Structure 1
Amino acid sequence: MDLDTRLQNVSVIGAAGKMGSGITLLLAQEMARLSLLPENRGRVFRLNAIDLDPAGLIGLREYLHAQATKTAEKTIVALRTLYADRPDLVENGDIIADYVRRVGDLVWPATDLGAARGSTLVFEAIVEKTGVKASVFRQLRDLCPEAYFLTNTSSIPIGEIDREAGLGGRVIGFHFYNPPPVQKLVEVIRAETTPDELSALAAELGRRLRKTLIPSADVAGFIGNGHFIRDGLHGLNEAQRLSRGRGWARGAWLVNRVSQDWLLRPMGIFQLIDYVGIDVFQMIQIVMDEHLDEHLRHEVIDRALELGVRGGQNPDGSQKPGFFRYEKGRPVAAYDLEARDYVPIDASWDEELGPLPEGFRPWKALTRAPDRDEALAAHFGALAGMDTLGAQLAKAYLARSREIGRQLVEQKVAASEDDVNRVLMLGFYHLYGPINDYCA
């Protein structure tokens, strides 16, 4: 069964979630495109958007309508080609309206997993817990005997999901990054039992969705979270060390500041953990800790969750309080684990770090800078000659990040250093990969 045929009956499990909604949009737009091709005019395309949250499914419809409209407006020239044999649709507005209607009409929201019955391609984007995923897949196995399954797991070995659910190899890891419509990266994880046909289908789908596919070995955490979790643990350990005599809030802020500005990243490490969700960070830690011969848990993460500090995002995309409290996307207060409350971030805290490297330009200014490579070399060249607290923390962070990247290659999680670097640059928007010669 080829990809076009499988795309006639698709289900997305967890469709109203942060990841599931983006995956649903991408698939709905590809299915709408296929439905407009002359050879498919008699075919019916159906996408079952399945989620336990009825309100979330209402929000999904609104999201799909808004995003499909934006896509149609941006790609109107290509759409006019697809609509060339529709003389009744002349104006751009008419074509856009028809396309948006078409995207909406092929999506069938449902709260019952039974709606997936007979699907030939199923995407899963639910909570990152092995037992929950395996239970859902066991039901899907019987509901969809001919389906191929693509799981958006970011850490659970695909072989384990296959064994626990009895899928007979009909599953592959297809890990989108958040948000799926925007992020170019997809990590593809093949288990030993994954057939060549499914791997080829996943590769073709990735090309159609205009994604950059990077393979990872079937090792818990894969490449992206294999680096992120260990990188986060380094930040947690450094903040814990600095908190002696300063308190946790100040220690966390110092490490966050260094990991953002001294390392030229889009977010500091604690802001990134907040963005992902402290609870999600812990879920990934648990999976990796269970499968790997390393201690990958941290008492601060467990303590924060015990105190109800969770992070994550609101439905409108704004940041929930986590290690920091935010106003207009910026940290304004840090959580004090001892006082169990937020304390305002004091500008005087930064003074202890010392000045930034000479000629500093923030991450945002460098993202599209024509002289980016030269600017990075100059920044880290200046950093190498500094001995302030900020410089010491930054150089130690660079060294640990490099060590983690090389470990992923040595353990054959990644096929090459370039794959590690591309995952961090595409998936995490880093300006440079962790395996580099900066301050080495």
Structure 2
Amino acid sequence: MTLDDKIKRVAVIGAGGKMGSGITLLLAQQMALAKLQPENRDEYYRLDAIDVNDRALEGLIKYIRGQALKVAEKTTVMLRSVYQDRADLVENSEIINEFVNDVAAVIRPSSNLDEVAGAHLVFEAILEKVDLKVNVLSKLKDLCGEDTYFFTNTSSIPIQELDDQVGLEGRIVGYHFYNPPAVQKLVELISNEKTRPDLVSVAQDIGKRLRKIIIPSNDVAGFIGNGHFIRDGLHALNEVTALQSEFGIPGAIYALNKVSQDLLIRPMGIFQLLDYVGIEVFQWIIDVMNKNIPGEAMQHELLERMIAKEIFGGQRPDGSQKDGFLKYEKNRPAGVYDLESGSYISFSDKQWVENIHTKLGTYPASLKPWKSLLMSPKKDEELRAYFNELKETQSLAAELAVKYLKRSKEIGEKLIADGVAATADDVNGVLLNGFFHLYGPVNDYVS
């Protein structure tokens, strides 16, 4: 069965969630475009959008239609050629509305898992918990045919563990979309020696159709993306511990967040990123990695204390940011959590903020913000000049930044040495495309 045949019956499990809704959107658009080809007009295309939450499914359809509308408005010229034999569609608005309807028409929302029976491709995007994934995948195996391929959106769980427990015999592959899937270009493709070669080919072909950058990772817990991110985040947490006697824990969190965003020139600070992913999710990933990677005890008591206080971070269904290490107002950091008082210290306390900046000291004069460098035609040249100055800057902020850069590079090189990534380009590609960094961690900026 070719991919063109397989893509006629698809299912997404966890379709009402943040990741599942984006995956559903991408697949529904491709299925609608495939059905609109003259040779496929009479074919049946069906995407089963499954979620246990009926209200989430209601929101899914609204989301799909809204996003499909935006896509149609940007691709009206292309859609005119797709609908060129439709004499009833004259105005751009008519073509746009028709495409939105065609995308929505392939979707069959349901809370009944049995509806998946008959699907050729199943995308699973449920919570990052081994037992839950095994339970659901086992039910799916019984419902689906022996030619069904499974794509798990896990960001950390070894694919072989899921395969062994469910008994899919190489019919499952890791297909790690980055959040949000409709925007992020990266997909990590995780396979192992038992993965069926034709499944890997299908996964690569789907990536091309979805216009994704596919970067392969070997089947080691955490893969490339979280293999770097978790250790990167733990480095920041360890630095907080080292600085807490001078700064206090809230001050140290603020300082490391500023240094990692400003002096490492990243789109957001490390604690903002931890909140974005979710503190509890971060801990879940650590637990998976600790279970599967012996000899490297990844943990930090500050995570445990935050979770005990039920400060989880993460995102609401509408995409707004929940409070975590930082407090957010209009999705922008506005305060930092104080474990002792159980409340947030507001960044509007100018004296408190100024005291931290005084301790951090000067920044290099050549520093430019991430957004400014992102589109600069001289980005590499400007980065090299900046990092040369950073190494010569005598301040605590510069010292912390250089130490952070060295640790980031060390993590990247270890991912290659351990066989998680094949090359430095793969490590750098994940951080560039999945985390929107300006440069990869494996570089010669800071030796």
Q: TM-score, normalised by structure 2?
A: 0.97
- Deviation of residue 315 (structure 1)? 2.2
Deviations 1:30-87 (A, max 9, x none): 0000000111111010001001111111111110001101111111111111112222
Q: CA deviation at 1:313?
A: 1.2
- How far apart are 1:374 and its partner, in Å? 1.6
Letter aligned with residue 330 of structure 1: R
Query: How far off is 1:328 after superposition?
Result: 2.3
**CA–CA separation in structure 2 for the residues paired with 1:192 and 1:18:** 31
Contact 1:216/1:415 (<8 A) preserved = yes
Whether 1:153 aligns to 2:160 is no
Contact 1:383-1:439 within 8 A present in 2 as well: no
Amino acid at match of 1:204: D
Matches of residues 169-248 of structure 1 in structure 2 within 5 Å? 169-248=170-249
Structure 1 counterpart SS, 2:357: helix
* Whole-angstrom distance in 2 between the partners of 1:245 and 1:414: 38
CA distance in 2 between counterparts of 1:439 and 1:131 reads: 42
| Match status 1:368 vs 2:370 | no
Query: Which residue does the alignment assign to 1:385?
Result: 392
Amino acid at match of 2:401: A
Stretches of 4+ aligned residues off by more than 4 angstroms = none
Cα deviation, residue 244, structure 1: 1.7
Contact kept in structure 2, 1:173 and 1:187, CA below 8 Å: yes
Paired position in structure 1 for 2:38: 38
Query: Equivalent residue for 2:364?
Result: 357
State how far apart, in whole Å, the 2-side matches of 1:265 and 1:92 are.
40
Superposition deviation, residue 302 in structure 1: 1.2
Q: Name stretches of at least 5 consecutive residues in structure 2 with no aligned partner.
A: none
- Cα distance in 2 between the residues matched to 1:154 and 1:19: 11
Q: Is the 8 A contact 1:159 1:192 kept in 2?
A: no
In structure 2, the residue matched to 1:94 is: 94
Q: Which residue in the other structure is 1:263 paired with?
A: 264
CA distance in 2, matches of 1:331, 1:355: 22
* 1:347 aligned residue (349, 353, 359): 353
Residue aligned with 1:89, SS: coil
Partner letter of residue 410 of structure 2?
E
CA distance in 2, matches of 1:438, 1:339: 41
Contact residue 215 and residue 414 of structure 1 kept, 8 A: yes
Amino acid at match of 1:170: R
Could you tell me which residue of structure 2 aligns to residue 250 of structure 1? 251
2:54 touches 2:111 (CA, 8 Å); kept in 1?
yes
Amino acid in structure 2 at the alignment position of 1:339: S
2:140 match: 140
* Paired residues for 1:48-127 under 5 Å: 48-127=48-127
CA distances 1:211-255 after superposition (whole Å, capped 9, x unpaired)? 110000000000000000000000000011111243210011111
Q: CA deviation at 1:340?
A: 2.0
Contact 1:247 1:336 in 2 (8 A): no
1-structure distance, mates of 2:138, 2:223: 24
Higher alpha-carbon deviation: 224-233 or 245-254: 245-254
Residues in 1 aligned to 2:371 and 2:360: alpha-carbon distance in whole angstroms: 21
Structure 1 residue matching 2:247: 3-state secondary structure: coil
Task: Report the 3-state secondary structure (helix = DSSP H, G, I; strand = E; otherwise coil) of the residue aligned with 1:343.
Answer: strand
Provide the secondary structure at the position in 2 that maps to 1:85: coil
Structure-1 separation of matches of 2:342 and 2:75 = 50
Q: Which moved more, 1:239-248 or 1:24-33?
A: 239-248
State the AA in 1 paired with 2:297. Answer: H
The CA distance in 2 between the partners of 1:196 and 1:409, in whole Å, is: 23
> 1:300 corresponds to which residue?
302
Deviation string for 1:161-219 (max 9, x for gaps)? 10111112110111111111111111001122211111110111000111110000000
Equivalence for 1:24: 24
2:324 corresponds, among 299, 322, 329, to 322
Report how far residue 140 of structure 1 moved: 0.1
Equivalent position amino acid for 1:325 in 2: K
Shift of 1:347: 2.2
Matched AA of 1:365: S
Question: Residue 245 of structure 2: SS of its match in structure 1?
Answer: coil
Q: Supply the distance in 1 between the matched residues of 2:319 and 2:155 (Cα, whole angstroms).
A: 20
Matched position secondary structure for 2:122:
strand
Read off the aligned partner of 1:416 and give its amino acid letter.
T
Which residue of 2 is the match for residue 312 of structure 1?
A: 314
- Contact kept in structure 1, 2:363 and 2:393, CA below 8 Å: no
Is contact 2:234–2:300 with CA below 8 Å preserved after alignment? yes
**Using the alignment, how far apart are the partners of 1:291 and 1:433 within structure 2?**
26
Comparing 245-254 with 122-131, which one deviates more in the overlay? 245-254
Structure 1: 5+ residue stretches without partners: none
Which stretch of the first structure deviates more once superposed, 346-355 or 405-414? 346-355
Whole-Å separation in 2 of the counterparts to 1:309 and 1:123: 30
Whichever residue aligns with residue 135 of structure 2, its letter is: S
Counterparts of 1:152 and 1:62 in 2: how far apart (Å)?
23
Query: Using the alignment, how far apart are the partners of 1:343 and 1:181 within structure 2?
Result: 35
Instruction: Measure the CA separation in 2 of the matches of 1:362 and 1:123.
Output: 38
**In 2, Cα distance between the equivalents of 1:40 and 1:330?**
47
Q: Percent identity?
A: 53
